[in-house]
């Protein structure tokens, strides 16, 4: 099952790279946001679950699965996401292929770092769900919600001045930005919230509590 999940994550990344990463498809901010959410909120958790039983070196495991690591990963993702969505860097990534690839690669690395440390396992053995993993995903949902709201309610467009073609229809830059904010709210904020609640349910499960006590 985990192999299927891993393969699904790889295929999703391939679909995103084959469509949304092409320079000609980057005119729409909503299209960019759909690719972004596809990477961090869909592909990254699939990859993390698929990789969660892979054996890694003990010293790396001790660092990667330290109790505080999910919180660090959440802060890393916050910095990555907010930095790349500053207007100057978004414009640079929209017009430069190398910057675009770097942007999407850092999105993937940050998303995978967060999901893997929150839900991961070590050496093929089940690990108790860390409370910090729950808090890290919920914190990420909060900052995704904040950014989505700010984008949707901004009184002026931040990422362009001309009309763009979004999903086959010409729309204004303001409409494009509002749609991008809605996509972030409907996908990123919801997925991270759901992930946090699932981990919380695992943490409160009787079997998990007995493992923690033992």
Phi and psi angles of residue 124, each rounded to the nearest 5 degrees, phi first:
80, 0
Measured distance CA(43)–CA(105) in Å, rounded: 12
One digit per residue, the tens of pLDDT, for the chain of length 214 reads 778 888 999 999 988 887 655 444 557 899 889 999 999 999 999 998 887 765 554 445 445 556 678 999 999 999 999 999 999 999 998 888 899 899 999 999 999 999 988 886 544 444 555 788 899 999 999 999 999 999 999 999 998 878 888 777 888 999 999 999 999 999 999 999 999 999 888 888 776 554 544 4
| Alpha-carbon distances of 146 from 79, 80, 82, 103, rounded to whole Å | 14, 15, 11, 21
pLDDT of residue 120: 63
Residue with tokens 């990534």: 93
Q: Report the predicted TM-score, pTM, of the whole model to 2 decimal places.
A: 0.84
pLDDT of residue 126: 46
- Please enumerate in sequence order all residues whose Cβ is within 8 A of that of 57, keeping only pairs 6 or more positions apart, or say none: none
pLDDT of residue 170: 85
pLDDT of residue 149: 96
Measured distance CA(88)–CA(94) in Å, rounded: 10
């Amino acid at each position: 099952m985990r192999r299927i999940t891993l393969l699904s994550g790889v295929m999703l990344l391939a679909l995103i790279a084959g469509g949304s990463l092409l320079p000609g498809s980057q005119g729409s901010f909503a299209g960019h946001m759909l690719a972004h959410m596809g990477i961090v909120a869909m592909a990254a958790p699939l990859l993390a679950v698929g990789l969660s039983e892979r054996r890694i070196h003990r010293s790396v495991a001790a660092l990667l699965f330290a109790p505080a690591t999910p919180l660090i990963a959440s802060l890393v993702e916050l910095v990555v996401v907010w930095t790349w969505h500053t207007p100057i860097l978004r414009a640079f990534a929209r017009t430069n292929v190398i910057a675009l690839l770097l942007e999407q690669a850092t999105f993937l690395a940050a998303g995978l770092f967060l999901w893997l440390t929150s839900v991961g396992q070590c050496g093929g053995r089940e690990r108790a769900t860390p409370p910090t993993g729950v808090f890290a995903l919920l914190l990420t949902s909060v900052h995704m919600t904040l950014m989505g709201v700010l984008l949707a309610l901004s009184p002026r467009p931040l990422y362009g001045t001309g009309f763009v073609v979004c999903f086959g229809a010409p729309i204004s830059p303001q409409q494009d930005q509002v749609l991008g904010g809605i996509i972030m709210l409907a996908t990123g904020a919801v997925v991270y919230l759901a992930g946090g609640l699932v981990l919380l349910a695992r943490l409160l499960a009787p079997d998990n509590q007995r493992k923690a006590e033992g």
